[in-house]
Structure 1
Amino acid sequence: MKNNQSEIIGDLYNLLLNPATRDWERSLLRIAKAGIDNGAKFEDQIAKLEAELRPLALRNNLTPDVTDFYLKITNDPLAGSSFDLSAHYQGDGPHQARAIFAGGCFWCMVEPFETRSGIISVVSGYTGGHMDNPTYEQVVGGYTGHVEAVEIIFDTQIWSYKELVELYWQLTDPTDAFGQMADRGSSYRPVIFVTNEEQRQIAERSKQDLAESGRYNHPIVTAIEPASTFWLAENFHQQFYQKNPRRYKKLKRSRQQFLVFQRMQTKLGHGWNRLRKK
């Protein structure tokens, strides 16, 4: 096994203590660690554990941290490909600024921004809640008040904040306060988190312009809230579109089809109203 034995054992111990680990995952991890502690051959115990986890791993149904562990023990090339978070933690440069958007599942909110010139970094995380260091399962369970969001560091010489907000509108349903598309619940509500007064004014003006544009039949309900601590999501969630391209393409296609259908309905509604007035 390429990975250091003591490192794997440390990972097992940490996963056993991790509150996000599911009970059945924890039971398998505990059996493996107990076997190793009792003198069983390390490679045999890890092989048995991998076989037990494999069916759920193939269906992408392990919790994020256990997924990372599974990739490590199978020597998957994605293992250890921890997302580079240096840009997130370091101070912004003279022509850099940040934008934070929540628009449903953050898996679908990274690629539309990250693949554009002038975008320096995009990370997935949780914000707007009342608990420190929330886990994915706590957030989607609705226990923390957080929403899934992305933090974008952008080059202000190439992008204005107003342009980013306008792109955000194109990616989301601003009339749905209770989720986005198939993602339901408070952790998926659409929010623009503003980091200063200038961003707040731009976001408010853009929201008002959208409301007056007639593009939607229903009120624009996307919230505009002050930014608070942005907690990074687990490594499994970072750059999901690259790690799970087939699954991401299905999710992206579903969102796009919904938005196209919604906009078509609005246009048809406007056309019908004009005919009735004649």
Structure 2
Amino acid sequence: MEATEDEIVEQLYNLIVNPNTREWERYLLTATKNSLTDQVNFKEQLAKLEAELRPLALRNNLTPDVADFYQMITGKKAVEHVVKEKHFISDSVYQERAIFAGGCFWCMVEPFENQPGIVSVLSGYTGGTTEDPSYDQVSSGHTGHVEAVEIIFDTRVVSYRDLLALYWQITDPTDALGQFQDRGMQYRPIIFPTTNEQKVLAEKTKQAVINSGRYKRPIVTEIRPAEKFWPAENYHQAFYKKQPKRYRAIKRERRQFLAYQHLMGNIRQKMAQIKRNPS
């Protein structure tokens, strides 16, 4: 069922006053609202607005409520911005939660989600002070949150130690100001243990990384007790499936950096071994 003109105008007003609407979106919505107030052709103005929003809509980069409005005016079903239905612990004996921050959460989902024993991976925000933060708020770097992933895993199939081993492989533990091309405190690497056992294992693996001699710079990855995890908007979930071409480009840059870093680490270890055993 198509939305009526009155419903569309009402949504325009709501979005203009919505604090989560970006300024660029608000500018376009206000211009459309003013034109409709001046009784300019309704369909023409709506088509113009749709064309102006389309580039970001196609890249899933509209804020959630504006994305829903776009779906409304194009006659498509709006996507509900809810968390994954299956993202909960259904077996308290054999399932645990793990929370890792390691740069943009778009690139932290696939490496874990494709491992055996993973029940669910959710993108979100944690570690800050703002209640129920939005993507734009976290991206500003002023909320104290980091982008992170919350993982529910089956301990009969995969261990927390296995997840830690993967985490150290896909992040740069020497960069406290971001990760790879993602710059800012909201991208810094942090491990958030959810149990004391996880905390002990995280600290042991961090010390092992320090002792390995693979890195020239200090290991700066933090280990902090798990805090409230706020799920990100739905359009951020499973980004690698929704935007495969864009994801592959981002992933390629990360892999190239990590490949070079791991190569240098291998050389560093080999040189240290030669110094210890010159013969």
TM-score interval, normalised by the smaller of the two chains: 0.7 to 0.9
Report which stretch shifted further, 123-132 or 158-167. 158-167
8 Å CA contact retained: 2:214, 2:269: no
* Residues 130-152 of structure 1: per-residue CA shift (max 9 Å, x gap): 11011111111111000000111
Structure 1 residues 86-122: Cα deviation after superposition (integer angstroms, max 9, x where no partner): 333x454232211110000000001111122321111
**TM-score w.r.t. structure 1 length?**
0.86
Alignment of 1:268 with 2:272, yes or no, is no
Structure 1 Cα separation of the partners of residues 242 and 68 of structure 2: 11
Question: After the TM superposition, which parts of structure 1 deviate over 6 Å for at least 4 consecutive aligned residues?
Answer: 37-41
Quote how far apart the aligned CAs of 1:67 are: 4.1
2:101 and 2:198 map into 1 onto residues whose CA distance is 15
TM-score (norm 2): 0.86
**Any conservation in 2 of the 1:100–1:192 contact (CA below 8 Å)?**
yes
For 1:20-39, list aligned pairs within 5 A.
20-33=20-33
What's 1:70 paired with? 70
Q: Does structure 1 conserve the Cα–Cα contact (< 8 Å) formed by 2:213 and 2:268?
A: no
Code of the residue aligned with 2:47 in structure 1: it is A
Q: Distance in 1 between matches of 2:14 and 2:95?
A: 36
CA distances 1:184-209 after superposition (whole Å, capped 9, x unpaired): 11000000111121111111111112
In structure 1, C-alpha distance between the alignment counterparts of 2:155 and 2:180, rounded to whole Å? 31
Distance in 1 between the 2:199 and 2:140 partners? Answer: 29
Q: Distance in 2 between matches of 1:15 and 1:260?
A: 45
Cα 1:204–1:272 shift into 2, 3 Å: closer
Contact 2:89–2:96 (CA under 8 A) maintained in structure 1: no
Distance 1:3 1:169, change over 3 A: farther
C-alpha contact 2:212 2:269 (8 A) present in aligned 1: no
Unaligned runs of 5+ in 1: none
- How many Å apart are 1:58 and its aligned residue? 5.1
The answer as to whether partners of 1:68 and 1:235 remain within 8 angstroms in 2 is no
TM superposition shift of 1:164: 0.9
C-alpha distance in structure 1 between counterparts of 2:153 and 2:128, whole Å? 25
Aligned-pair CA distance for 1:55: 3.9
How do 1:1-278 residues align onto structure 2 when only pairs under 5 Å count? 3-5=2-4, 11-33=11-33, 43-57=43-57, 62-63=62-63, 65-71=65-71, 73-74=73-74, 79-80=78-79, 85-88=84-87, 90-94=88-92, 95-272=94-271, 278=278
Aligned equivalents of 1:122, 1:75: Cα separation in 2: 31
Instruction: Write the letter of the residue equivalent to 1:176.
Output: D
- Amino-acid identity (%): 55
- Paired residues in the alignment total 275
Taking the aligned partners of 1:35 and 1:183, their CA distance within structure 2 comes to 39
Change in 2 beyond 3 A, CA 1:212/1:173 = same
SS at match of 1:226: coil
CA deviations 1:51-107 (Å, max 9, x no partner) are 122344456654454345435544568x5275652333x454232211110000000
The 3 A distance-change label for structure 1 pair 35 and 131 is same
Cα pair 1:64 1:237 within 8 Å, conserved = no
Check 1:215–1:272 CA distance in 2 against 1; reply closer, same or farther (3 A cut). Answer: closer
Using a 3 Å threshold, how does the CA distance of structure 1 residues 217 and 121 change in structure 2: closer, same or farther? same
The answer as to whether partners of 1:125 and 1:150 remain within 8 angstroms in 2 is yes
CA RMSD of aligned residues (A): 2.7
